[in-house]
Amino acid sequence: MTAFTAMVRVSVGQLLGRKWVILVGLVGLLPTIVMFALTRTQGSARLATSFQEGPMMTLFLIVLPLTSILVASLALGEERREGTLPILLLRPRRREVVVAAKLLAAWLSAWLLTGASGVLAAVVLGGASGEWGMVGPVIVATGVSALAYVAVFLVVGYLTKWAVIIGAAFLFVWETGLASAVDALANVSLFRIGLTAFAAMVDGAPSTLREPLAALTPGVWGALAKVAVLSAAAVGGLSFLMGRRDLT
């Protein structure tokens, strides 16, 4: 096992081994609860559209952002505030390797929690209507948006202990407020990156799903390119900051 792999494995265990994961898991049941309620009140022909209008928006507006922000804020920031960050470089390791390992661990943790939330809701849809085509798009879209949030809030969490509060303000003021009201700002909305991938992978996305996308063009490769740039910027920026603030 390489040092990089070991750091990822240990970090994932640290992030998912906390008591708050139980609370996050309970919140993650919201899309499934919404989907189950829809199966009790609507016919099977309408359920696929209702899945995109209800459970998907619950997942991308509440569950995924809050979970990803929380995980990312702790992944590197807690190491810094507890004074354990320099220990990671006791053996000769490039700062970029440490940051990349933390980024990957936070992303895998957030993706596991949010992806499971979305897939469970999609399974309820499939069991009720026979429509199983949402599972794949949900997995891809949650992975994309989770990585976008993790890349940004890994940096914020490193810089300040108030990252979760900043993240909540970002979510409710920017994501669901300004970026929803002004179409031109949709381009810098993190949850919409994953939605563009999802919309590209499903047929007949309802107006409820198209409205948050505003002028954004659905596309998987475009979404992947955006999160790749965000991730590279996070690794490069944090590596520079670590060298300047902690590890010199």
Q: What is the DSSP string of 217-230?
A: PP-HHHHHHHHHHH
Do 167 and 74 meet the contact criterion of CB atoms below 8 Å apart?
A: no
d(CA 175, CA 188): 9
Query: Binning pLDDT at 50, 70 and 90, where does residue 248 land?
Result: very low
Mean pLDDT of the chain: 86
Domain positions in the chain are: 3-245
Q: What angle do CA 154, 159, 164 make, to 5 degrees?
A: 60
145: closest CA among 21, 52, 230, 30?
230
195 or 45: which carries more pLDDT confidence? 195
Residues 6+ apart with CB under 8 A from 80: 158, 246
C-alpha distances (whole Å) from 134 to each of 66, 130, 172 are 22, 11, 27
* pLDDT, mean of residues 217-242: 91
Structure tokens at 84: 């354990």
**Model-wide pTM > 0.85:** yes
pLDDT of residue 176: 77
- Confidence check: pLDDT of 19 > 90: no
Contact, 75 vs 157, CB < 8 A? yes
pLDDT in tens, 53-71: 889 989 999 999 999 999 9
Q: What percent of the chain has pLDDT over 70?
A: 87
For the stretch 101-133, pLDDT in tens is 999 999 999 999 999 999 999 999 999 988 898
* Residue-level pLDDT at 37: 92
Tokens (6 digits) for 226: 């955006």
d(CA 21, CA 89): 28
* Three-class secondary structure assignment of 92-123: CCCHHHHHHHHHHHHHHHHHHHHHHHHHHHHH
CA distance 135 to 129: 13
